[in-house]
A and B are shown apart, each in its own frame.
Chain A
Amino acid sequence: MIIQQYKIVFAGSMGAGKTEAIKSLSEIPILETEAFNTDVQSHQKTQTTVGIDYGEITLDDGIKIGLYGTPGQSRFDFIWSVICEGAIGIILLLDHNSPNSIDELNDYLKTFKNYNDNIAIGITHIDENKESSLQQYRNWIKANELTYPLFFIDAREQEHILMMVESLIASLEVKVGSVPQGNNHA
Chain B
Amino acid sequence: MLSIPTQKRTAPTQLLQLAKSEAHNILMNTRGVDFVMICSSDGFELATVSHKNYHNTTKLAAVSSSILAMVTAFLKEIQLTGCNNITLDADNGKAILTAIPAVHHPMVMVTLSNKEVLLGQLLYSLKKASQIIAEADGE
Contact = CB atoms under 8 A, between A and B. Distances in A.
Q: Do chains A and B touch in the complex (CB under 8 A)?
A: yes
Interface string B48-65: 000000000011011101
Given A33-B69, A75-B59, A50 B42 contact: yes
B9 A35 contact: no
| Size bin of chain A's contact surface | 20 to 34
Given A40-B6, A78-B62, A51 B70 contact: yes
A79 interface: yes
B41 A31 contact: no
B69 A38 contact: no
Interface class of chain A by DSSP? loop
Contacts of B32: none
Interface residues of B, number: 26
Interface in A19-41: 31-40
B70 A52 contact: yes
A100 B66 CA distance: 26
A54 B44 CA distance: 23
B106 A75 contact: no
Interface string A51-63: 1101000000000
Interface in A149-183: none
Given A50-B65, A75-B58, A76-B62, A35 B6 contact: no
A34 B63 contact: no
A32 B69 CA distance: 9
A79 B105 CA distance: 24
Contacts of B63: 78
Interface of B: 3-4, 6, 9-11, 40-44, 58-59, 61-63, 65-67, 69-70, 72-73, 77, 105-106
Interface of A: 31-40, 44, 46, 48, 50-52, 54, 71, 73, 75-76, 78-79
The 5 closest A-B pairs by CB, nearest first: A33-B69, A51-B69, A35-B41, A51-B70, A75-B62
